[in-house]
Amino acid sequence: MSATPAQDTSKIDTAAFIDAQPVSAFQIKVLLTCAAVLFLDGFDTTAIGYVAPALTKEWHIGKEALGPVFSAGLFGLMIGALLFGPLADRIGRKKIIVLSTLAFGVGTLVTSFVNDVSVLLAIRFLTGLGLGGAMPNTVALTSEFSPHRRRATMVMVMFVGFSIGAALGGLLAAALIPQFGWRSVFVVGGAAPLVLVPILIWRLPESVRYLALTGRSNARVAELLALINPKAVFAAGARFVVNEPELKGIPIQHLFREQRTIPTLLLWVVFFMSLLELYFLSNWLPTVLNDLGASISTAAVIGSMFQVGGVVGTFALGSIIDRFSFRALALVYFVAVFAVGAIGQLGHSAALVTTAIFVAGFCIVGGQIAANALAAGFYPTSVRATGVGWALGMGRIGSIVGPLVGGMLLGLKWSVGELFGTAAAAALCAALAAFLLGRLAGLGGSGRSAKDQVPSLEAVTRAQA
């Protein structure tokens, strides 16, 4: 739909306008810019896991000593998501994305100069604050520029930047560490975000739906919608709105109103268990593979197949998640149970364990990215960044627990089979929570989209407006 001068429409529904248009080159540029942020986010988040074997040998420390370091970074990620999601719902997505990118770039660069475990722990926590703030806001921004029928697909395609960055971290570590040492990985990982910051300031727009809802810049909304559809012409007096209530008060409280409580809690279980599994595997796979006899470079390459599988899974699952929602997500996590368990049984064969790691990445990373996309559809614009941020924040608690548990079990000399058999239980819990969300939404065999999932979702919020 496009408004023309003959239509003298005083109000134009911004969301409806976007939903009526084909996906434009401008929307793809927004998606790719956000993907670039998450590409570097993924690289910097997982780099510590890839350098761990070389770092422990240089510093002559036990593997378990890095468990708190892994978790310190993830604790920062949790705090960043919890704080910067609600803040972005107040001051805008773009400001937080720029600030977060600057913060994790500086923090990663500083990591390359560290010579002590306690200092490394503190720097990884501070770096995590920036990493945690970027993710929920890129999800929210991409979601708010996407037509509803393609929302999950576009958010997932954007989020694949994180998986590509994480996978490249392993490949780059394998190339850099033998030649330049582990510190070189953090030099590259810190410099790149600092180069990106001025590009974000110049090229990244504020969320069009956020601007329309808050009424802060009617003219800017018109400019952004014209970029989505250059043929659209709007009446001089037109006002751009989003037919949702602008929720007042503390954003977090709205996650538990209008029948959102149970879906929100189940979503948190999915995120907690999924990210526990994801960071358990991301952080400890290279070290475990090295213990099984693979060289540091080979362990990094094989471990990176986890993220490569995630990239493939994201592209493969996008349209399926748009159509079948939590029913598909539950099935993906059920497959992950067997893939993760198989890693512990196939360590004698490089080809077989690589395959198992790839499938685990397809399901765990692909499933987590699908959960991010579905979470973006759970909440109205006023609290979308809060909803995604707090789901990720709860997930980050799991991501903190995962590396700590892995370090503890390795310290207790558990076998590889026992280690990954225990890890598979987390995927099972995520699958059950996703299944219950699907049942609660009344999906049955209908395969309805995320818009129809739960009475409290965005579709009902619009209907009540």
pLDDT of residue 331: 94
Q: Is 115 helix (H, G, I), strand (E, B) or coil?
A: coil
pLDDT of residue 246: 66
Only one residue has tokens 């705090």, namely 79
pLDDT over threshold 50, residue 71: yes
DSSP state of 77: H
Comparing 104 with 438, which gets the higher pLDDT?
A: 104
Comparing 361 with 400, which gets the higher pLDDT?
A: 361
pLDDT over threshold 50, residue 453: no
pLDDT tens, position by position, 99-156: 999 999 999 999 999 888 889 999 999 999 998 899 889 999 999 999 888 888 899 8
DSSP 309-335: HHHHHHHHHHHHHHHHHHHHHHHHHHH
pLDDT of residue 324: 82
Q: What element of type H or E holds 239? A: strand 239-241
> Region 224-240: what's the mean pLDDT?
85
pLDDT tens, position by position, 328-362: 899 999 999 999 988 878 767 778 888 999 999 99
Question: Residue 26: pLDDT band by 50, 70, 90 thresholds?
Answer: very high
Question: Residue 413: pLDDT band by 50, 70, 90 thresholds?
Answer: confident
Comparing 363 with 246, which gets the higher pLDDT?
A: 363
Comparing 174 with 267, which gets the higher pLDDT?
A: 267
pLDDT of residue 141: 93
Average pLDDT in the chain? 83
Give percent above pLDDT 90 in the chain: 30
pLDDT of residue 457: 35
Strand residue runs (E) in 114-232: none
Enter the pTM of the model: 0.76
pLDDT over threshold 90, residue 24: yes
**125: which residues sit within 8 A by CB, 6+ positions away?**
72, 73, 75, 76
pLDDT of residue 339: 92
**379: which residues sit within 8 A by CB, 6+ positions away?**
254, 255, 260, 386, 387, 388, 457, 458
Question: Residue 2: pLDDT band by 50, 70, 90 thresholds?
Answer: very low
CATH architecture, range 11-459: Up-down Bundle (1.20)
pLDDT over threshold 50, residue 218: yes
Comparing 197 with 280, which gets the higher pLDDT?
A: 197
pLDDT over threshold 50, residue 5: no
Lowest mean pLDDT segment, chosen from 27-41, 51-65, 240-254, 359-373: 240-254
**What distance in Å separates the CA atoms of residue 253 and residue 414, rounded to the nearest whole number?**
43
